[in-house]
Amino acid sequence: MFELLSASLFQIFTSPYLLLTIVAAVFIGSFFGLVPGLGGTLAMVLFIPLMIGRDPLYGIVFLIAMHAVVHTAGSIPSILFGIPGTGADAATVVDGLPMTQQGKAGTALGAALFASAVGGIIGGMFLLLMLPVVTPVINLITPSEYFLLAILGISFMSAVSGSSLRKGVAVGCLGLCFSFVGISPQSAEMRFTFGQIFLWDGLDLVTLVLAVFAIPDLLFLDRRKKHTLEKMHTYTLGHVISGIKMVFVHRWLAFRTSLLGAVIGLVPGMGGDVASWMCYGHAVQSSKNPDQFGKGAVEGVIAPETANNSKEGGALIPTLFFGVPGSNGMAVFLLALTILGVQPGPGLLAEQGGLVTSLIVTLVLANLLAVAILLPASRYLAQFASIPAGTVIPVGLVMIVLGSYLSSGNWEYLLILYAMSMLGFGLKYYRWPRAPFVIGVVLGANAETSYLQAITIWDYGFFLKPLSLILIAAICSSVAVYFWRRRQEREHQRAGLHYDV
């Protein structure tokens, strides 16, 4: 393995043509990430015809480098405008946008871009370390584990509830109810669809996040008049560097969420949404200052960004070694592999091990390059955030409407956007937490489907599998830690001290 890796490193770093291919791919991938509604899958589809008759190494290096950096660039519109390009970028909005509104756009961008690179590198390392044990590890993660992982994520709702557990749980349960919109996977009954076909497959996550976060935040700009040129003039490169430093300060969080993202990436169908929202929940749950989340906590930017990029390393495992794509982007990548004459499957490592290690090197290199390119550019991109509220609000609303339409593909979703934005505005106005709502929506459907699969296959016996028991213990610990912290907090308050566990 070490020989293959060093040969790949040598091959890539001594070939100017390969290096240029990676640089070009990083630029193109960044563009597709920056513009909401484009995304990595579309980039892959558009470039696939160019792969016909190409050298497999160059084709794979180009596609993987392009796809790897889409979410890195996608963090920029999420932070500056609160407009996520995909569901996976949506969690960054929760704390990224408040940071921008507080004049910390540079810090948020620095943290997001560097965290993305860290995630991408750890994702690549994860893939490398998994190579010898791919099959047994993949076989460990079954619907029963998906279900318990989803429940673990839902248990983070309490952590993101802020000062009132009751409010958080109420909003989270409302999110769970919204996750049940659509056709029941078991009985085929229509649930909350009101005779509307566009609701059959459930609600579009990007539309929900735009409605619950972006629109209320935009409308509040006008009320608070914070979004002014004056405030944004404080932006310097120092802010970007301070953002990078924050990733070092929260290095263990970055490591944990990168690892969690890569593990979730292993599971086809779980998707980037689950990875980023679960990691956001974990960041709040493990923070010393959970009250700061939703108000501009940098950990709330670091966690989803690391997960977004690291999950690509995990998603490559089923794609390369089982021929089963871990995400939509990977499905198109799989097709590209076939066009390039590479046969994915269990024998890939033995037959074309050099190609696999070159892919890992490219994954890491592209993530580093993206930061090198986007960090200097972020200084200029952040200037967009200094546009006065009077301009930002109408432009932002147009972009939100476009983002919702591009993501859902149905104009009817504009009605959902309108209705849900009233809910979001109400939650923000009355200071109810909004993050539990999205966690409920994202994980509710996953939990339900996985539960039904597990119960059909194993009956209730699945609760007694060894990994299930470990996950049940993790869920219990998560809830117990929350209540222990709440108790500590109350005791400190009673003693007249500040909470600092």
Query: Which range binds another protein by CB under 8 A, 149-157, 230-238, 268-276, 365-373?
Result: 268-276
CA dihedral (213, 219, 224, 227) positive or negative: positive
Instruction: Please state, in angstroms and rounded to a whole number, the distance separating the CA atoms of residues 176 and 180.
Output: 7
Question: Stretches 80-88, 196-204, 208-216, 372-380: which one binds another protein (CB under 8 A)?
Answer: 196-204
| Residue 461 neighbours by CB distance under 10 Å | 12
Q: Does 9 bind another protein (CB under 8 A)?
A: no
Among 53, 380, 466, 500, binds another protein (CB under 8 A): 53
Beta-carbon neighbour count of residue 31 at 10 Å?
15
- DSSP category for residue 85: S
Q: Which residues of 269-292 are buried (b: 16+ CB within 10 A; e: fewer)?
A: ebbbbbbbbbbbbbbbbbbeebeb
User: Using an 8 Å Cβ cutoff, are 84 and 77 in contact?
Assistant: yes
Interface pick for another protein out of 2, 14, 195, 500 (rule CB under 8 A): 195
Interface region with another protein, contact rule CB under 8 A, candidates 44-52, 157-165, 366-374, 429-437: 44-52
Q: Which residues in 424-451 are b (16+ Cβ under 10 Å) and which e?
A: bbebbeeebbbbbbbbbbbbbbbbbbbb
- Smallest distance from another protein to CB 27, Å: 21
Residue window 367-386: x/- pattern of binding to another protein, with contact defined by CB under 8 A? --------------------
Using CB under 8 A as the binding criterion, the count of chain residues that bind another protein stands at 52
The residue (of 81 and 147) whose beta carbon lies closer to another protein is: 147
Under the binding rule (CB under 8 A), the answer on residue 66 touching another protein is no
Per-residue binding string, another protein, 466-495, x by CB under 8 A, is: ------------------------------
Question: In this chain, which of 2, 14, 16, 139 binds another protein, going by CB under 8 A?
Answer: 139
Tell me which H or E stretch contains 190.
strand 190-191
Stretch that binds another protein, among 104-112, 190-198, 298-306, 394-402 (CB under 8 A): 190-198
**CB within 8 A of 146, min separation 6: which ones?**
267, 270, 446, 450, 453
Q: Measure CA of the first residue to CA of the last residue in the chain; give whole Å.
A: 44
* 426 is an interface residue for another protein by CB under 8 A: no
Residue 186 binds another protein (CB under 8 A): yes
- Other CB atoms within 10 Å distance of the CB of residue 197: 10
Q: Side chain identity at 255, as an amino acid letter?
A: F
Report in angstroms how near the CB of residue 338 gets to another protein at its nearest: 6
Q: Determine which residue in the list 409, 426, 470, 488 makes contact with another protein, applying CB under 8 A.
A: 409
Q: Is 226 exposed, middle or buried (0-12, 13-18, 19+ CB in 10 A)?
A: middle
Largest CA distance in the chain: 73
Near another protein by CB under 8 A, which window of 147-155, 317-325, 364-372, 394-402?
A: 317-325
The whole-angstrom separation of Cα 401 and Cα 413 is: 9
Chain positions contacting another protein, by CB under 8 A = 41-42, 44-45, 48-49, 52-53, 138-139, 142-143, 183-186, 188, 195, 197-198, 200-201, 267-270, 318, 322-326, 328-329, 331-332, 335, 338-339, 343-347, 409-410, 446, 449, 452-453, 456-457
